[in-house]
Chains A and B, each alone.
Chain A
């Protein structure tokens, strides 16, 4: 018996709908995000796009080391293997279209 992968597609506002990590990643495109790398450095900016390897393209990127702003990049590409996590300021995903 296979769990329905199709359920993810139909699940919109329905109660009990499961959000996969893939849905989360799609939902945060174009939003301000915080990306923490394995090295502990944080990058804050607008998430332009990302792919299945979690490679990331960001705009208006700021680099924080130990909480201090160190650099600014108009554009930045981060290779996915370095990513520890991606975070948004939103607490829930209920406002997603």
Chain B
């Protein structure tokens, strides 16, 4: 018989996700999206699929010929929803914030 993958049953039995974005609500975040788009804004909401609601969102546009290079131009987007499936990376714009790590190990 085909057993269910252990990775899922062992690690995601709870509905909570490892990405605790509650700490970043009403704070500035930067989001990288698949395909290379990059957006910053104030995180207003999120769900378990990592759909994000950003306010005062700004898109950083890229060079025409090099999608990995930012052109320096920006677009004001206002209130937006980032679809979770397109989210690659989320990071607080204030890099000094430290998350309480429940899995902290002594060897770290």
Residues of chain A touching chain B, judged by Cβ–Cβ distance below 8 Å, are 2, 5, 8, 20-22, 25, 29-31, 37-39, 41, 43, 46, 48-53, 55-57, 59, 61, 65-66, 72-79, 81-82, 97
Contact = CB atoms under 8 A, between A and B. Distances in A.
B3 interface: yes
Nearest to A51: B18
A52 B8 CA distance: 5
Given A20-B6, A30-B108, A37-B88, A74 B11 contact: no
B97 A74 contact: yes
Which residue, B19, B36, B101, B108, has most C-beta atoms of chain A within 10 A?
B19
Interface string B47-60: 00010000000000
Nearest to B35: A39
A75 B108 contact: no
Contacts of A48: 99, 101, 103
A79 B88 contact: yes
Contacts of B74: none
B17 A55 contact: yes
List of 7 A-B pairs having minimum Cβ-Cβ separation, nearest first: A52-B12, A74-B95, A30-B105, A52-B11, A51-B18, A30-B108, A73-B91
B10 A52 contact: yes
Contacts of B8: 52-53
B40 to A, nearest CB: 12
Interface in B90-108: 90-92, 94-99, 101-105, 107-108
B99 A78 contact: no
Contacts of A53: 8, 12, 17
Given A52-B10, A59-B99, A59-B101, 8 more contacts: A37-B88, A39-B34, A49-B18, A53-B17, A72-B95, A81-B85, A82-B88, A82-B89
Which residue, A29, A77, A81, A97, has most C-beta atoms of chain B within 10 A?
A77
